[in-house]
Structure 1
């Protein structure tokens, strides 16, 4: 009995963005990045920076930086993780320049959330403020991981690639961040 090796796809690159990068079509790759990942990048930047205008500006800078980095792109991880890594570093730089006292993290409010109940809206804003305060008190590495996981919707492997760590470390950062947030939020309720 002979064992046959499974047939592999001759073109392992299925991602159209990666295909464009490998072909040297960087403008096409950036257009695809903006279309496919622009909104999640915007949510991440908004959650980290707290300003819609600043988040939009940061997304544009991320796309420009990605375009400049495409010639040296090695394809380690996903393009999405690559973009989120750039975005995370740019947001951190902006926050650092702004200063610790001025740092305000804002969660992106769900546009579909019902706003007809003023008391419910007020309570939701109070809860969001508590969460923002708890996020601000986390270590930056844990805060970044939590925000990327729950605001950016990244998988742990993508968080790992964006942060330059391995997947178990990314899981640990998210886990520690959530545990610390739970602790901080329970302190507020006492």
Structure 2
């Protein structure tokens, strides 16, 4: 055969793989199945990308329950919005976009909550400075925590708002430091100190 037949017999591969389209995305069939209500497809898709998504989310919001909350939100968003998916990007990229938006929403919510709590603490006790119990002097919070809940003194502790009870329980029942309490309650150390001092002042009147 001549050059013409030789050319016609060559496979046309020059752009076959270089121009991979989103239509060839291996997740496309799954997202289409999810849009049709296929929960098994959702489980497969999430399992396929869970490790990478989880690693990214933990980097954005921290390695705690917040990351689990974001991942749950991503799963729900994929399930409810699968039909809206547009192949402008791969399904994987679309899922990462959802995860990033959910992480940002959580961080904004956390920031607003902390700002509100700081403002509330300053409003209720603007000039308070936390002090450690002095040796030889009974701390009212420690005393009241030792009374039965049914007693009048125990009732005084129970009457405190939860935001004041929680740090006291950790301080006296668990013997935690202010830094440890701050980590447990996800609060600044200064906020924990102000709440402990405010609680002590409220309870001091009962003794």
User: Same fold judged by TM-score > 0.5?
Assistant: no
Larger Rg: 2
TM-score by length of structure 1 reads 0.44
TM-score by length of structure 2 reads 0.41
Q: Which has the higher contact order (CA 8 A, sep 6+)?
A: 1
